[in-house]
Amino acid sequence: MAIITLTTDLGDKDIYLAALKGSILKLLPEVNIVDITNSVSTFNIQQAAFILKNSFHYFPDNTVHLIGIDTVYNSFTKYLAIHYKNHFFVGADNGIFSLMFDEEPEEVYEINIMQDLKFLHFPLADIFVKAACHLANGDPIDEIGLRISGIEKKMNLQPVVEKNLIKGAVIYIDSFQNVITNITKEFFNTIQQGRRFTLYFKRNETINHLSWHYNEVPEGEKLCLFGISDHLEIAINKGNASGLLGLNLGDSVIIEFE
């Protein structure tokens, strides 16, 4: 069965999500619609990119991922259909794809489906839906657009290495209030080379041991680990790390190696 996933900032209190799903089912009644999340903060492409980057690969090949973040028409932004690592993505060319992809996508098409005037303020339920259903139905990507050579670029905040230090930052806080940094497991291992370390963050807090799971420390104790996203997390076992440790998006963290 064809799959279309949704990653949007539409929430679940208004008519917009229902209109989007209903429009999909009108065109492709048998499709399996999967909500990755509809609770992205309004217009927050960085948050959406982190969620989708770390979840899309769990889906079967040829899944279509419809991205509804900052999609209202303007004269500068293109709407794209993209083929990347055996998945398809439909979204606005507002920089989100460059934040998601580690490599250049195999194919990028600027969608040229005509806008229905009654959907002018809500292209998600028209252009995006038509493109996503076309791809989910197994039809060729080149029938819905013109091939182009690139995508809008935005830069993720990268960790910095200085002598025996890694300087990183908080890039995401999940619904459990776990604090996720921009330091990946691969990057950490490359710099660490087996050395002992101390992780420093707000309020003079430190951690000097990597845990394998959240229950490795007593309830209420802080820990750090590499979670499902392979990014370094700061957490409190059954606690609110962000609130209790005073860590917010953009805050600095430092790892010092001995």
Model confidence pLDDT, tens digit, residues 2-34: 999 999 999 989 999 999 999 999 999 999 999
CA atoms within 13 A on the CB side of 252: 8
Kindly report whether the global pTM for this prediction surpasses the value 0.85.
yes
Whole-number Å distance between alpha carbons of 141 and 32:
20
Write down the pLDDT at residue 82.
Answer: 98
Which sign does the torsion angle of CA 95, 98, 101, 104 carry? Answer: positive
Write down the pLDDT at residue 118.
Answer: 65
**In whole numbers, what is the pLDDT of the chain averaged over residues?**
93
Write down the pLDDT at residue 74.
Answer: 72
254 contact partners, CB below 8 Å, separation of at least 6: 165, 166, 167, 168, 199, 200, 201
Which of the residues in the chain have pLDDT under 50? none
Write down the pLDDT at residue 204.
Answer: 84
Tokens representing residue 86 in the block: 């055996």
CB neighbourhood size of 40 (10 A): 24
Strand 222-226 to strand 79-84: parallel, antiparallel, or no bridges (unpaired)?
unpaired
Domains identified in the chain and CATH numbers: 3-147 (3.40.50.10790), 160-257 (2.40.30.90)
Write down the pLDDT at residue 120.
Answer: 62
Whole-number Å distance between alpha carbons of 139 and 110:
16
Residue 1 · residue 30 · CB < 8 Å:
yes
- pLDDT tens per residue, range 85-105: 999 999 999 999 999 999 999
Write down the pLDDT at residue 73.
Answer: 72
